[in-house]
Each structure stands twice: as structure tokens, then as C-alpha cells.
Amino acid sequence: MANIADANLSWETSYTYNVALEFGLFNNRLNGTIEYFNRDSKDLLQSVPISTVTGFSSTLKNIGEINNHGLEIELSGDIIRTADLRWSAGLTGSWIRSTVTKLYDGKDIVWYDPTGDDARAKFIYREGESTLALYGLEWAGVEDETGRNVWFLNNDSQADVTVDGRPATYNYSKADEVILGDAHPDFFGGFATDLSWKGLSIALNFVYKIGGYTYNAVGRDVNDDGYYWERIMSQYCYDNRWTPDNKTAKYPQRIAIDMEDVNQKSSRHMNPADYLRLKNVTVSYTLPRAWTNKISIQNARIFFNGTNLWTLAAHKEYDPEVNEYGSRGWEIPLGKTFTFGLEFSF
């Protein structure tokens, strides 16, 4: 038995409408689709914590209602179109918002990345906020003179120090948790271009994401403050660690004082999710028929294909194409691949 039986449990229900505009202009040299959608979901199913005297730590309940709405755009067209030369391009983009509109108990619900352990990302369902609102302590950075962690209080407690005009403390237990950001991107999509001249063809395909955050759940293991002395620190964290000669560092000094600081769910482990990646490149050359017909070959093509050849990311420590729960340290990075080939048709 995995859950306590609940006679009031029901299926989720969704109500959706969408409006789309499809068009072709300039003798169909420019084509596109613009679509708006809205989906209201009721009786959202979610695992929620319960008293452990029941023999369980959580149970499945209908907790509330959410709204998803957004705009999706797709454009494609021929920039140049002649007998020998053709250049085409395409663009896709999505703007989507997902919001908690109602909680049946009227109380916030804190939940965690369901695929991880105690290092996983922490989220909160709160009316009017994103369905992927990251929740935790707000890290104020590192004090230049001492190399210690500093936390924004976000309450009326006595401050130890002021950071950017805001009250802060060295003791994380004095600070209150707040919504830190959204794991949803502001905008995402891709664009591609294809250039062909006679038998030569070059195709490029890019993907991108703008806005949002990823959570580095493995950060406490590769970037601890002295709690795990035997563990290997990542090179990036080592280079950006506070020392007497590096007082403007991003991370605190590694001494056994504030050892539990790194274990807190906080904005210290959040990173911007923006990236641009060259997902695919294909270069090919189709031999002229005048050549291939002489050796009884109908078609011959030489090609090169490469994937994940170039990436520009706001945060470079882990692959930017992680899912909405961020990095947990065991993902296999997307490697670069190179393929060369010959194709023949007889």
C-alpha cells in the first residue's frame, strides 16, 4: 500500500481553448502560425505531507487549481529563391505562464523535486505564483572582510549587517524563506537556416532559452564550506572561493565554521538558465548527375553532421538543457557528436 485511501480523491479536469492564425505571404515565401492557448486545470493532484503517525509521510490529494496560458509563434520563409541558390530560415518561440490560481485549503504547499533526495530543489505552491516557484533562504553573498556567508533576513529580527541597504545576518536560522525565482523560462524556442547552392548545402539548427533559473542540487557536494573535507571541489568553485588574496570571491572561505550553510535550500544554488546552443549542423554535397550517371549511380551525396558543437550559457558548470528541477549531479552531459558519411542510390 503506497498511499492512504482517500474517498474524496478525484481525477484532474482541464478546460482548454486556443485561437490560431495561419498565414502565407508573398506567394507563400513567408509562412507562419501564431497561436494563443489557455488551459484551466481543476482538482490538481499533488503529494502533500501528513503526520507520520499514520505510517506514511505524504498522501495524494486534490489540492487546487492552476492556469496555463501562452503564445506560440512559428515563422518560416525563403529569403532567396533562384534556380541555383536557395536560402531559407525558420523561427519558433513560446511564451508560457503557469500560475496557481486556487488552493482548496487556502494554505501554501511546500514540495520538492520528486526525483531527488534531501539535496533536491524546493518549491512552493502559493496562490498567484508560478507552479515552479523556487522557495528557500535568500543568500546575500559573501562578506568581503571575513569570507562568511550572509543571508537576507526577510523579517523584523535584529540584523547583524546590512547588504545593499537590506538587513542581513550571518546565521541562516534567523532568516525567513521566501520565493526566490521561477524555474519556468520567460521565452524559449529555436531557429534554423538552410543555404543551398547547386549541389552544396549547409543547414544550421539552434535552440535557446531566455529567463528562468536552474537549481544546482549537487552544489553542496562540490562546493561545501568545510563540511565534507574529503570531497573534491569543482574547479569553478575552487577558483571562486574566498581567500585573503581574493576578497571579492563569489563563495565563502572553506573552514569548519558555518558548515551547514551550504546545505540550506537557498538562492546560493540557483543559476540563470539562459542559453543558446548550436544543436545541429549538416554540410553536404550532392555530386552532379553528369558525373554519377557515367558509373550507373542515380544519386551520390557526401555529408557531415555535428550535434551540440557550440553552446553559450549564462551558467557553464553543468549542461543548460537540464529539466525544470535543475541539476542533481548524475545527468550525463550532452556530448558533441561528429558523423561523416556517403550516400548512394542505384
> How does pLDDT run across 212-225, given as a tens digit for each residue?
999 988 777 777 77
Residue 51: pLDDT band with limits 50, 70, 90:
low
- The three-class DSSP label of residue 200 is strand
What pLDDT score was predicted for residue 331?
65
One-letter amino acid for residue 100 of the chain: V
- 57-88 residue pLDDT tens: 677 888 899 999 999 999 999 999 998 899 99
Grid coordinates in use for 208? 535557446
Is residue 88 within 8 A of residue 79, CB to CB? The reply is yes
What pLDDT score was predicted for residue 1?
52
d(CA 45, CA 62): 5
- 243-256 residue pLDDT tens: 999 999 999 988 76
291, pLDDT greater than 90: no
Grid coordinates in use for 246? 581574493
* Continuous segment of H or E residues that includes residue 280: strand 275-286
From the number of C-beta atoms within 10 Å of its C-beta (0-12, 13-18, 19+), residue 264 rates as buried
d(CA 319, CA 274): 11
How far, CA to CA in Å, does 144 sit from each of 114, 159, 161, 173, 245?
Answer: 37, 17, 12, 21, 11
| Section 283-292 average pLDDT | 82
Query: What phi, psi does 116 have (nearest 5°)?
Result: -110, -165
What pLDDT score was predicted for residue 219?
74
What pLDDT score was predicted for residue 278?
97
What pLDDT score was predicted for residue 119?
63
Range with the lowest mean pLDDT among 100-104, 188-192, 309-313, 332-336? 332-336
Higher per-residue pLDDT: 217 or 129? 129
One-letter amino acid for residue 338 of the chain: F
Query: What phi, psi does 339 have (nearest 5°)?
Result: -130, 130
**Predicted model pTM:** 0.88
d(CA 307, CA 29): 29
Calculate the average pLDDT of the chain: 88
Highest mean pLDDT, choosing among 40-44, 94-98, 298-302:
94-98
